[in-house]
Structure 1
Amino acid sequence: MTNPFSKLLTLGNDKRLKGYQRKVQAIGDLEEGFKSKSDAELKSFTAVLQERIASGEALDKVLPEAFALVREASLRTLGMRHFDVQLIGAMALNDGCIAEMKTGEGKTLVATAAAFLNALTGENVHVVTVNDYLAKRDSEWMGQLYHFLGLEVGLLQNGMQPWERKPSYAAHITYGTNSEFGFDYLRDNMVSSPAERVQRGQHFSIVDEVDSILIDEARTPLIISGLGGAAADLYNAFAEVMPRLSREDDIVLDEAKRTVYASEKGLDKIEEMLGMEIYADASGKLANHLKQALRAEFLFKRDVEYVVIDGELKIVDEFTGRIMEGRRFSEGLHQALEAKEHVKIQDENQTLATVTLQNYFRLYEKLSGMTGTALTEDSEFRHIYKLPVVPIPTNKPVIRQDKEDLIFRTVDAKYKAVADEVERRHAKGQPVLIGTSTIEASERLSRLLDKRGVKHETLNAKNPEREARIVEQAGRLGAVTIATNMAGRGTDILLGGNRDALVRDALVRYENSNMTDEEKLHTAEAEADYITSREGYAVRQFGGLCVIGTDRHESRRIDNQLRGRAGRQGDPGESQFYLSLEDNLLKRFGQDRLHAVSDMMIKRGMPDDQPLQDPLVSKVIGSAQRQVESIHFGARKNVLEYDDVMNLQRKAIYEERNAVLDGKEFDDMQIFRILYDLIVYKLQTFCPYDKSYVDWDYPALDAWMVEMSGAPEYDSKFYDIHFQDILADLLHDDIMNPYRRKRKEVGTEEMKDIARQVMLRQIDTHWIAHLQEMDYLKNGIGLRALGHRDPLVEYKEEAYRAFTDLTFCIYEDFIRTLVRLPVEKPEIVLPPEEDNPFRLDKLIYSNVEAALTESSEAQLNQAKNNAPLL
């Protein structure tokens, strides 16, 4: 059931859709004209549209012609003509909206019209997918259309080198995953020269499966890490004491909110076993070790949130069930889990750069997305991303039957009933897709079907390409497929099987036959046509694809996605969920109310294998899902609120860093301003306005001046100066003078280059340290709520102070390095005259030598002008 507030927010969609319908009519009127054009004429029309846009014509003005062009090109290259509703979906994308289109409506093709139109501007268009397989598949598949129209297509894949990525970003349209785009953004802000950047900005993005990327994955920020200090012994020590704690007395656990902490009694017990006082550690590291050890022991379960494969602990995506290769939990949680499972503890990582997906995607000038299920999260899309959801009508009416949930008292009874139902449907030939929420559940069900001799495929979301191959054939006669709820997302299930996939498989079988290539293809196509026609007819007679859910997901949206796998494009289909009163969702959020239901079933003598269809239980389930959705939204909002603070700092640092990288000059005036700001800031520490000069710390000021200037000692001449402004001017001169001497020794232009390199190094070094400091601050800031202070407000204030300190620390180290930079006189070696093809006059070399010796800037420049080859 959709949120009533979402309905209010989408009231304007009817008006929007009517406007889209008028444009569809205009596109239809152009269709015959484009049909009459040759391939070359179609391709050349792309250039015509590009010229019109370059001359100032608006995208909306050329949209009908661009969409009509894409529709005709698609028919010629892909054999697919855009449905009217697909054009409407593309218009929603172009308007910066989310197009909610049911499964099987052809979202991959929808993206082409909007991507083509926006690529005509010459700006970058990024099409974002949920995994590398889909990015590669879609770029190659839809790439035929783009290439036909004269556009270049780029592809990003995990493991590509920077020199491979740059051409992909230079293309008109680039396909890749959200992680690849996000990490490249971070890496581009860590490069040491402009030429190393791979991206060319963020203009227009189409996010496929937008709910998965912008909602489900938004709680986990993207982090680039480097090796930090290792502390394996501490992790092992904490992991060893965790199993000795009592759940009743030693910890306070809230599974609903996913929080756990030690009680006073538990803390005393832990400290006694470890032989250390945890909160006596001023750095907060021991407190973090305790926090992560408790989370690892009591909140994270093996084969649910993570798996251990070949001695390595890997994260399982809670929404897709897919193993997240190369990803690690942050803040020491991953190491705590490794200690718990007694596998090798990998080195701790130090954050080098980080950004949330929310703040990365908000960088785009225009953002859009597609999914089958977005309306339940409409308010979040609008609030966080300013993205309205536009439900797009289906091409054909949906005739799928969504049946009421069947509720069993125990988990065992539920799985037995599922196995019975699958066996019955399989026997008559109806294909069945079974959705599970965990790897553990899928393996349990697989074992039950094995015992009954039911042939099936089990997808644990470990191999996206293999998943897609299997899901493509999940609609074949008698097929039984067990999958985590999101496995194979992005791949259509066609009743009777996927013809192209059957052709592919047949060609592999015929590889070593004596047939010619033409005969192989003809035979394979004939075989595929026969199978899909015969099996497709039979499957439709048996009721189409049957989708069975083995438990409700925490999000209603995921349940709807599973249901949506059946009934595509007007096909028949069924869906039904099998639940038990022992399911995790109900135990966590409806336990008290469901005790009465369980007692009632027992009193009535209902056998365990008899299901209950009770509106009360359904109401509890809906309430539980809304609670979890609210909690998850709160978590994402919390992550974003904290990252918004860091985002302002990140933008400022990256803006300054890029300015330096792109050639920002540090001339005398720039150095003068930086130094003066630094001195005023330092005087607030040594000689503050709010204290009498009698209390000013002149010795500390002397020590600082020695450190900054590099003088062996610095006898203060300031003791009689009682005014900060005068003091600042004198200090300024005493640092600027050695800087000017150093600049004369090195040369003005050379000093500017050195200053850029020094500033770049200081920004990077201090920013990394700042990120670590802010991590520790964020981890401990929640405790301030105990003192009735708002942690977010406290974090903002602390972050502001920390960033001010960061800025002046960068300035201080920058100035100190420039002033104290050791300079060696370059040794100029004359090439032997017989080896010198340019026959340079020796006088020129002597001029350069004299200039360097005398530190004369004018002579050095004159010598360089005389010897341009040097």
Structure 2
Amino acid sequence: MALLSRVGTRLKRLLSRPASVDLARYEALLPRIGELEPELEGLSDTELAERAAALRRLGDLRDDSSSARRDTKKARETDFDDMLVEVCALGREAARRALGERAFDVQLLGTMGLLTGHVVQMATGEGKTLAGALAAAGYALQGKRVHLISVNDYLARRDAQWMRPVYDALGVSVGWVEPSSTADERRDAYHREVCYGAVSEIGFDVLRDRLVTSVDELTQPEPQVAIVDEADSVLVDEARVPLVMAGSVDAGVADEEVARIVGRLREGLHYETDPDRRNAWLTAVGASVVEKALGGIDLYGESGADRLAAVNAALHAHALLTRDVDYLVRDGKVQLVNASRGRVAELQRWPDGLQAAVEAKEQLPPSEHGEILDSITVQALIARYPQVAGMTGTAVAVAEQLREFYKLEVAVIPPNTPNIRDDRPHRVFATPRHKLKAIVEEIREVHETGRPILVGTQDVAESEELAEKLRKVGLECVVLNARNDAEEASVIAQAGAHGAITVSTQMAGRGTDIRLGGADGADAERVAELGGLHVIGTARYPSSRLDDQLRGRAGRQGDPGSSVFFASLGDELVLAHAPDIPDGIPSDPDTGEITDAAAHRQINHAQRVAEGVDLEIHRNTWRYTRLIEHQRSELLKYRDEILRTDKATALLRELEPDRCAELAESVGERTLDRVCREIVLFHLDQLWADHLAFLTEVRETIHLRALAKETPLDEFHRTAIPAFRKIREELEKRSAKTLVEADVTAEGIDLARAGVRRPTSTWTYLVQDNPFDSDAEQALKKVRSTLRKKRS
């Protein structure tokens, strides 16, 4: 009977969570962890630290070759299970002493899931931060260096400082990196056993290390373990975002005349866009207007070739990028908004031509632009780690992508207390106007009861429009969006207070729980009796995960709460991904509300299509970047040899033996080695930068090259591979020339006079979507079709 019960439980879990790892193995260890609790409570702080140190002496218990008694799979699993039990028991006791928090069993399940290399899904408020810290300590006690990767600098610093007492109790060293960290501070943090950092900051340091000319300048040791917080956001939403190291050149050049001309164009007459609003192109009428305004040039002939790129960038900025949605203008600068987080994307920008076009559109002075020295996608950054694990509140929805791109499985951790949140049916309206009116009425009715309300909006503009509507009917609210994201922790902490109305953009990765009764929980019981936090979504997001992240702000740790989403058939999601709305769907003549199931199906379909488009973009982008990453890996291996050995000197002795002999006599062998290394590394880095620029050009014209030949991917490979093979030959030629021509003294080489000068100013930018998708090809075909019609 007991066996049937266990089978039934396992089958039920499998059916309800189709992407989930079976937790039975971990659950079986919980009683053993509990049995150790009284024993560990009786230890002094010193004895507890010594008990943790004993784990270090066991080494990596998963190494098949470490001991003869681990020759069998069963023996290895037994050893590893023993380690899991000890780590969890020690971690629970350390947290109790250091933080006054005894880890729940579900937090220990999350810890074990992380230690076995899974992405654990834990609901909001269930204690992911502590589970992640205990897992990081567990890896560290096995002798592995851990990077705990966060979505932003604030959370990295907060979590490192918050969890430090737990690490101290276990004898594990911890540090963190942030933009203000000096090189020495970064080096110290990365050499701690556990280092917290934002994904962008860790990525930048990887890029900086790829440009050093001395081993002493390196900040990061070899990567070993990554634990990724908000794993779905980092590993999926940002997987295509390249972190770019660019060197300053000068101010960007925006074609202000083109910006003025394009700003007067009208959609439908002068230009068209595709349904996803990812591409825009001139119609025959639009091309004629632009050509005439630019002095009668032929945009698509030789006379207009130098203006065509500026026209395309200006059209993209004018037609596809919206102020207060895609970007803000703040402090006289264009600042990108990260759509998946609702925040300003710090240190990010578009490629130089598009960045300059947006600045010209907003009549702002152009910012500096630069030469790309190197870049790395988040996906490639994570691929550097031999072991990866992650945690988030919503992972099952992207289980397919986690498996396909990272070979990671999802472990769904049950809540400590059953979720009693009331998720009400979505409400659908005929138009956005009807929807907005209903949302204001919903807020008014719920606010009268005293319940706190959290409203999730799609973007900055919508959040401010709704706040203004609420004020007009006498309802005061607090707005949290990219304009005031520095105040987010305090705003969110008070969102559960009695009578509070909070209007926010995307809630993913905010990092602060909404406690009933406000930050101090003073009115918690009163608010709970009223029904808890009420969450309202003003539209369905392009991903069901984002819906779930907003919904999950209510009902934390068994609290009461409710949620409802509003939608309309005129929402951006529906118009972009399911525009063919069936005729005759009835709506209430007064309110515009639609109860017909067909409308709900239409919106669900639009969301699924949007998710499919994003997956295909991710997949298609990776097909191209995989070759670049392979080439980068090969080049970095060679660069590391140059950096750490006398390979550069040997190379140049072979190429220029007389010059090397002369310098060895005049400046000494040590100086010669340093000079040769600096010369070869400079030219190697410059040639890689040139190669990246060439690949960017290939990428932007790949459909033109491929329309009449092979597939775009085949054509890209056909072009990129021979170009890469030429780098070594060109490196030797340039290095030898510099060695012969440069002035070399006992102090070394005069870099400036030799033209071997490295730029210092750096930044990152966000590449807009995927230049290889089918829409780009379709847009190109339409442009060519338009030209044929125009000239016929």
Band of TM-score, shorter chain: 0.7 to 0.9
Distance in 2 of aligned mates of 1:217 and 1:148: 35
Distance in 2 of aligned mates of 1:283 and 1:418: 50
Instruction: Give ranges in structure 2 of 5+ residues lacking alignment.
Output: 1-12, 68-78, 749-792
Shift in alpha-carbon separation, 1:433–1:575, aligned structure 2, 3 A: same
Aligned to 1:640: 622
Shift in alpha-carbon separation, 1:123–1:281, aligned structure 2, 3 A: farther
Q: Give the conservation status (yes or no) of the 8 Å contact 2:341–2:508.
A: yes
Distance in 2 of aligned mates of 1:739 and 1:263: 62
Shift in alpha-carbon separation, 1:739–1:150, aligned structure 2, 3 A: closer
Could you tell which deviates more after superposition, 657-666 or 175-184? 657-666
Q: Give the conservation status (yes or no) of the 8 Å contact 2:20–2:409.
A: no
Distance in 2 of aligned mates of 1:284 and 1:150: 64
Shift in alpha-carbon separation, 1:352–1:316, aligned structure 2, 3 A: same
Q: Give the conservation status (yes or no) of the 8 Å contact 2:528–2:560.
A: yes
Shift in alpha-carbon separation, 1:48–1:614, aligned structure 2, 3 A: same
Could you tell which deviates more after superposition, 759-768 or 235-244? 235-244
Residue by residue, what CA displacement relative to the aligned partner does 1:113-168 show, whole Å, maximum 9, x if unpaired?
A: 21111011333211111222211211111111111222221011123221221111
Q: Give the conservation status (yes or no) of the 8 Å contact 1:468–1:488.
A: no
Shift, 1:42, TM fit: 0.6
1:575 partner amino acid: S
Task: After TM superposition, list the pairs within 5 Å mapping 1:42-121 onto structure 2.
Answer: 42-53=48-59, 56=66, 60-121=81-142
Distance in 2 of aligned mates of 1:49 and 1:20: 19
Q: Give the conservation status (yes or no) of the 8 Å contact 1:322–1:487.
A: no
Shift, 1:464, TM fit: 4.5
Could you tell which deviates more after superposition, 291-300 or 558-567? 291-300
Residue by residue, what CA displacement relative to the aligned partner does 1:70-99 show, whole Å, maximum 9, x if unpaired?
A: 101101111111111111111111111110
Distance in 1 of aligned mates of 2:382 and 2:110: 20
Distance in 1 of aligned mates of 2:251 and 2:487: 37
Shift, 1:380, TM fit: 0.6
1:613 aligns with 2:633: no
Question: Per the alignment, in what secondary structure is the counterpart of residue 158 of structure 1?
Answer: coil
Shift in alpha-carbon separation, 1:594–1:322, aligned structure 2, 3 A: farther
Indicate which of 134, 140, 144 corresponds to 2:161.
Answer: 140
Shift, 1:591, TM fit: 2.6
Q: Give the conservation status (yes or no) of the 8 Å contact 2:648–2:680.
A: no
1:258 aligns with 2:258: no
1:761 aligns with 2:782: no
1:655 aligns with 2:675: no
The structure having more radius of gyration, on CA atoms, is 1
Distance in 1 of aligned mates of 2:503 and 2:97: 37
Aligned to 1:866: none
* Higher RCO (CA 8 Å, separation ≥ 6 residues): 2
Q: Give the conservation status (yes or no) of the 8 Å contact 1:378–1:389.
A: yes
Shift, 1:583, TM fit: 1.2
1:39 aligns with 2:39: no
Q: Give the conservation status (yes or no) of the 8 Å contact 2:20–2:396.
A: no
TM norm structure 2? 0.86
Shift, 1:264, TM fit: 4.8
Could you tell which deviates more after superposition, 169-178 or 635-644? 635-644
Distance in 1 of aligned mates of 2:205 and 2:724: 25
1:797 aligns with 2:718: yes
Shift, 1:192, TM fit: 2.3
Instruction: Give ranges in structure 1 of 5+ residues lacking alignment.
Output: 1-5, 500-530, 676-734, 828-870
Shift in alpha-carbon separation, 1:231–1:821, aligned structure 2, 3 A: closer
Distance in 2 of aligned mates of 1:277 and 1:250: 16
Task: After TM superposition, list the pairs within 5 Å mapping 1:97-246 onto structure 2.
Answer: 97-228=118-249, 230=251, 232=253, 234-246=254-266
Shift, 1:402, TM fit: 0.9
Could you tell which deviates more after superposition, 139-148 or 449-458? 449-458
Task: After TM superposition, list the pairs within 5 Å mapping 1:545-560 onto structure 2.
Answer: 545-560=533-548
Shift, 1:739, TM fit: 5.8
Indicate which of 699, 702, 706 corresponds to 1:778.
Answer: 699
Distance in 1 of aligned mates of 2:419 and 2:554: 10
Residue by residue, what CA displacement relative to the aligned partner does 1:193-213 show, whole Å, maximum 9, x if unpaired?
A: 211111112111111111111
Shift in alpha-carbon separation, 1:46–1:286, aligned structure 2, 3 A: farther
Shift, 1:359, TM fit: 0.4
Task: After TM superposition, list the pairs within 5 Å mapping 1:575-594 onto structure 2.
Answer: 575-593=563-581
Shift, 1:743, TM fit: 5.5
Shift in alpha-carbon separation, 1:167–1:304, aligned structure 2, 3 A: same
More helix by share: 1
Shift, 1:291, TM fit: 2.5
Task: After TM superposition, list the pairs within 5 Å mapping 1:689-768 onto structure 2.
Answer: 750-768=671-689
Shift in alpha-carbon separation, 1:158–1:596, aligned structure 2, 3 A: farther
1:645 partner amino acid: L
Indicate which of 294, 306, 315 corresponds to 1:274.
Answer: 294
Aligned to 1:572: 560
Distance in 1 of aligned mates of 2:733 and 2:218: 28
Q: Give the conservation status (yes or no) of the 8 Å contact 1:461–1:488.
A: no
Q: Give the conservation status (yes or no) of the 8 Å contact 1:540–1:571.
A: yes
Aligned to 2:432: 411
Shift, 1:462, TM fit: 4.1
Question: Per the alignment, in what secondary structure is the counterpart of residue 154 of structure 1?
Answer: strand
Distance in 2 of aligned mates of 1:791 and 1:12: 33
Task: After TM superposition, list the pairs within 5 Å mapping 1:330-729 onto structure 2.
Answer: 330-486=351-507, 489-499=510-520, 532=522, 535-593=523-581, 596-597=584-585, 600-601=586-587, 606-666=588-648, 670-671=651-652
Shift, 1:491, TM fit: 1.2
Q: Give the conservation status (yes or no) of the 8 Å contact 2:653–2:660.
A: no
Distance in 2 of aligned mates of 1:96 and 1:264: 55
Residue by residue, what CA displacement relative to the aligned partner does 1:634-667 show, whole Å, maximum 9, x if unpaired?
A: 2222322222111112112222222222133345
Distance in 2 of aligned mates of 1:284 and 1:749: 51
Shift, 1:363, TM fit: 0.6
Could you tell which deviates more after superposition, 765-774 or 622-631? 765-774
Shift, 1:480, TM fit: 1.1
Question: Per the alignment, in what secondary structure is the counterpart of residue 503 of structure 2?
Answer: strand
Q: Give the conservation status (yes or no) of the 8 Å contact 1:461–1:483.
A: no
Question: Per the alignment, in what secondary structure is the counterpart of residue 367 of structure 1?
Answer: strand
Distance in 1 of aligned mates of 2:641 and 2:55: 35
1:568 partner amino acid: R
Task: Give the alignment's Cα RMSD to 1 decimal.
Answer: 2.6
Distance in 1 of aligned mates of 2:139 and 2:257: 57
Residue by residue, what CA displacement relative to the aligned partner does 1:542-572 show, whole Å, maximum 9, x if unpaired?
A: 1111100001111111001111111111111
Distance in 1 of aligned mates of 2:690 and 2:486: 40
Residue by residue, what CA displacement relative to the aligned partner does 1:444-487 show, whole Å, maximum 9, x if unpaired?
A: 11112212222321101444452111212211211111111226
Residue by residue, what CA displacement relative to the aligned partner does 1:830-870 show, whole Å, maximum 9, x if unpaired?
A: xxxxxxxxxxxxxxxxxxxxxxxxxxxxxxxxxxxxxxxxx
Residue by residue, what CA displacement relative to the aligned partner does 1:34-85 show, whole Å, maximum 9, x if unpaired?
A: 1111112111212211122279586554221121001011011111111111
Shift, 1:596, TM fit: 3.5
Q: Give the conservation status (yes or no) of the 8 Å contact 1:321–1:486.
A: yes
TM norm structure 1? 0.78
Shift in alpha-carbon separation, 1:745–1:311, aligned structure 2, 3 A: closer
Shift, 1:815, TM fit: 2.3
Distance in 1 of aligned mates of 2:326 and 2:267: 20
Shift in alpha-carbon separation, 1:538–1:823, aligned structure 2, 3 A: closer
Percent identity between matched residues is: 37
Indicate which of 331, 339, 343 corresponds to 1:322.
Answer: 343
Question: Per the alignment, in what secondary structure is the counterpart of residue 390 of structure 1?
Answer: strand
